[in-house]
């Protein structure tokens, strides 16, 4: 487990890169069918984890969030779900976001296919510094960024999933529901993980404005203390479901109680 002191202050250069790519996302993600690169590695799933890094999340909660993802990926059930896919591999990116033009890839697109690759991914989550603190909560822009990142990566997955987690509703930027509708029309699925501590009705906001597409679902966590349980359930469900009827949309209304 990482030392909390290892989560350092933001890196301006990486934050600037995130803003530049975010601006490109806004211009491109609202376009028609995505342009895919010619030579791409085939995977079972392209999954981008769009994780809230806004100022409403204090340092302790931020660490619980990062380490919760690391612990969830290390769970043997995740590796088993990956192995059970037709190609036995998925591509994943982990991005933290706040305002309309503040999205920073903590781990860019990488293939997970065995214990070693999963362990390397989890370790990078533990040691990577915190790079965002302020900027508001731009859920819609996070969705658009996720679609653009998938669109421009070097992988070709049968399923393309944008996973949005956060502890508050949109207060800046592009409306979440409009962003959701645009990317769903392009064939993406948007799943959610709302943390209800500050906004007890946030699960309803996610159901109405965030999730969409084939097999979309939302799994709420009551607080960051039980974030890990929600993450694990979400990851297994996202990875293991390889065939989903088009148009199917569900919601996991169960809230994970404090342990």
Asked if 132 and 96 count as a contact pair (C-beta separation under 8 A), the reply is yes
Window from 80-89, 103-112, 127-136, 153-162 with minimum mean pLDDT: 127-136
The mean per-residue pLDDT over the stretch 84-103 comes to 96
pLDDT at 38: 57
| Short-list 66, 73, 71, CA closest to 95 | 66
Inform me whether the pLDDT recorded for 96 exceeds 90.
yes
Inform me whether the pLDDT recorded for 41 exceeds 90.
yes
The mean per-residue pLDDT over the stretch 225-251 comes to 72
pLDDT at 45: 98
State residue 43 phi and psi, 5-degree precision: -140, 165
Inform me whether the pLDDT recorded for 19 exceeds 70.
no
Asked if 193 and 218 count as a contact pair (C-beta separation under 8 A), the reply is yes
32 vs 198, higher pLDDT: 198
DSSP state of 224: G
Handedness of CA 132, 163, 56, 257 (dihedral sign): negative
Domains of the chain, earliest start first: 19-24+41-240 (3.40.50.410)
State residue 133 phi and psi, 5-degree precision: -135, -35
Whole-number Cα distances in Å, 249 to 111, 125, 192, 210, 221: 27, 30, 12, 12, 19
Rounded Cα–Cα distance for residues 194 and 204 (Å): 9
Long-range contacts of 229-233 (CB under 8 A, 24+ apart): 229/256, 229/259, 230/193, 230/256, 231/68, 231/69, 231/72, 231/193, 232/71, 232/72, 232/75, 232/77, 232/78
Inform me whether the pLDDT recorded for 27 exceeds 90.
no
Q: What is the pLDDT of residues 53-80, one digit of tens each?
A: 988 888 888 998 999 999 999 999 999 9
Asked if 225 and 258 count as a contact pair (C-beta separation under 8 A), the reply is yes
For residue 251, count other CB atoms closer than 10 A to its CB: 16
Q: What is the pLDDT of residues 149-207, one digit of tens each?
A: 999 999 999 999 999 999 999 999 999 999 999 999 999 999 999 999 888 899 999 99
């Amino acid at each position: 487990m990482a030392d909390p002191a290892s989560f350092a202050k933001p890196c301006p250069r990486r934050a600037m890169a995130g803003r530049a790519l975010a601006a490109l996302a806004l211009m491109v993600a609202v376009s028609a069918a995505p342009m895919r690169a010619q030579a791409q590695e085939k995977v079972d799933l392209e999954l981008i984890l769009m994780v809230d890094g806004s100022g409403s999340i204090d340092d302790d909660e931020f660490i619980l969030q990062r380490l919760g993802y690391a612990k969830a990926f290390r769970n043997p059930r995740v590796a088993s779900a990956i192995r059970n896919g037709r190609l036995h591999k998925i591509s994943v990116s982990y991005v933290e976001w706040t305002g309309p033009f503040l999205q920073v890839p903590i781990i860019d697109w990488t293939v997970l296919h065995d214990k070693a690759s999963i362990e390397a991914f989890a370790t990078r989550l533990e040691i990577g510094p915190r790079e965002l603190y302020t900027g508001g909560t731009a859920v819609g822009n996070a969705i658009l960024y996720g679609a653009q990142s998938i669109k421009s990566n070097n992988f070709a997955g049968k399923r393309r999933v944008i996973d949005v987690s956060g502890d508050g509703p949109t207060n800046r930027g592009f409306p979440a529901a409009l962003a959701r509708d645009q990317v769903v029309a392009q064939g993406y699925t948007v799943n959610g993980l709302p943390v209800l501590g500050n906004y007890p009705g946030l699960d309803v906001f996610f159901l109405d404005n965030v999730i969409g597409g084939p097999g979309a679902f939302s799994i709420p966590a009551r607080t960051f203390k039980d974030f890990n349980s929600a993450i694990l359930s979400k990851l297994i469900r996202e990875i293991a479901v390889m065939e989903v009827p088009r148009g199917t949309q569900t919601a996991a209304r169960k809230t994970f109680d404090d342990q």
